[in-house]
Structure 1
């Protein structure tokens, strides 16, 4: 028997141009003054104007917070909450990449007038008390799946990250509008796309909470992402490919929200924390080597994924799993992403530090198909160095 519990957002709207109805959705939730959470790049390129026009059209007031940074530090979140509280907002819109949506989740819980907890009390799994304000998430990249997850990642020191994990953080509405992603540069499209593929793969091979529902989502996500990534990278205005990538990333987000990610993410986080490498690229750098490490314990699952991508593929489980690695490596190369740590000017003497920091990611490492220790982490970093 496959017994499990599955959670996700209340409503998903997947349609090009759907940002134009954002105000109507706010109205339906009974909102009158929302905080619009985004980053300076969205504002600079005016990607938010249609959404704001939609709010204006139905008389929804808004306060824009556009100071979100990649890998958002705790002080950014606290500053946003202070502004939200002073404006007496009654709802939150996350509009941007994963960082903006993560910050929006935490504002929605911390700006609730009934909330007495501090942000520092919420780190970990299931530590949020109380309810959040209404929350709508609008991704502008096809990667993190944050619009449908119950996780928010916070940078708590110079290089350390903590996760806030709670079903309370699931949004009321996730709105997927591919028109918002057509202007993404190829490198960003590639990195976020690989990130979504990692979510699907790690959800499918997770040793904790893997279930029939998450497997179904992970497989469909991986097919969509595999079939559309290169078109989205090289033909950025192909709306069909962009919508498929956005939908695939969302499905992968639903999958890993219920069957959590593992060692790829654990080894990626220190790269982002120390060198400010984007999360998607950090995942891409270690993905294939982590899969090689896991082959002794998860070759069958990787083989199943390969057969989903190419039903005509032949070979033993190990041979099929290696074909999956080859396919992923080709995606990374064809996308033009760097694939070695030394290409990013990371000193080789830092690998020991990276391995040490990766071992702190116990929340993720427990989900890996094969137990991974410090020496293993160091060997993986060394293998992808040059």
Structure 2
């Protein structure tokens, strides 16, 4: 067996009402002032109320940074850091989707570090310690609550990552009640996003390992079996609970066996055209899988029964083709756009997208099949 390393969070609590246990952890750490990083939608829906109530009861002073936007840029990150420093906070809570949790990671680090944001881009460039960090997801998709990765949109609309075990949370709270209000389209896109994480982790070229494989398979079993119910019946707590658990497991998987070409080609869609991350992945997924099938049919065929239980057989190439077809059918059934032209991208922009995707070598190096510029362009053309 190949030697591997597996990183994970210190503590994870799963179950309805678990949001209220954040205060208990902060008291154990002797924290009296905390920064909550979230977005305007969370405030508008008042999802944060139980958290604030529990902090008040515990006499923990809190500041709320609620300016996070999708694909957060550098100025948003630094504004959160400035508020944390101004208020002399002793811990950070990320509350919301992947963008809020990513900003929370960086705020916890940069508030406690002499490094600049530009200095920590890349893999293992972050140094030192950070403030205690709690992550509370309100979507079942990004898995950011358990990953060592934060993605930032630069001034040039390029997505850059900060990757370091330092960013892994101290405590993760998975409360399915927080996801009950998600609209169907967000539930669908974030759910497919989580499935992409598991699929790419299972086929990751460099760090695939037995633990990440196990988590990817179980994530796909939970996600595929419950995504339609979660989208069509948003108040089904059991389906929401299983989606949240599946998303977290997929996050654990790709935190240790990194994602690859689907994400590399999806990032320019978000960075330049502000297409939500989950939808970007959904648009690209089938076409990267068809490209990878030449070298990854055995892995895709192994995953097939977890995604579409009716798929079985000895011909791995046939099973892989059927799996990709079933994923495309799932995406259509969930009501998501299926072509780049459907989200406002023109055909003459595909070459630019391919050029930008090739900058994501941090991700492309994990792909099971090498991708050159011409390959990226062909994949975009197929998705168009």
Deviates more, 1:141-150 or 1:317-326: 317-326
Mapped pair 1:299 → 2:297: yes
Q: Which runs of 4+ in 1 moved over 6 A?
A: none
Match of 1:80 in 2: 80
Match of 2:12 in 1: 12
Distance in 1 (CA, whole Å) between partners of 2:173 and 2:329 is: 31
Equivalent residues of 1:182, 1:242 under 8 A apart: yes
Distance in 1 (CA, whole Å) between partners of 2:119 and 2:141 is: 28
Instruction: Give the length in aligned residue pairs.
Output: 383
Mapped pair 1:139 → 2:137: yes
Match of 2:3 in 1: 3
Residues 59-98 of structure 1 aligned to structure 2 (within 5 Å) = 59-98=59-98
Deviation, structure 1 residue 311: 6.8
For residue 162 of structure 1, give the secondary structure of its aligned residue in structure 2: strand
Match of 1:49 in 2: 49
For residue 348 of structure 2, give the secondary structure of its aligned residue in structure 1: helix
1:291–1:312 Cα change, 3 Å? closer
Distance in 2 (CA, whole Å) between partners of 1:125 and 1:152 is: 11
Distance in 2 (CA, whole Å) between partners of 1:327 and 1:57 is: 49
Match of 1:383 in 2: 382
Residues 16-31 of structure 1 aligned to structure 2 (within 5 Å) = 16-31=16-31
Distance in 2 (CA, whole Å) between partners of 1:159 and 1:111 is: 24
For residue 46 of structure 2, give the secondary structure of its aligned residue in structure 1: coil
Aligned counterpart in structure 2 of residue 237 of structure 1, from 235, 238, 247: 235
1:261–1:312 Cα change, 3 Å? closer
Match of 1:37 in 2: 37
CA deviation map 1:231-277 (0-9, x unaligned) = 00000000000010000000000000000000000000000011100
For residue 94 of structure 1, give the secondary structure of its aligned residue in structure 2: strand
| Contiguous gaps of at least 5 residues in structure 2 | none
Match of 1:226 in 2: 224
Match of 2:337 in 1: 338
For residue 194 of structure 1, give the secondary structure of its aligned residue in structure 2: helix
| Contiguous gaps of at least 5 residues in structure 1 | none
Residues 1-386 of structure 1 aligned to structure 2 (within 5 Å) = 1-112=1-112, 115-309=113-307, 310=309, 313-385=312-384
TM-score, normalised via structure 2 length:
0.98
TM-score, normalised via structure 1 length:
0.98
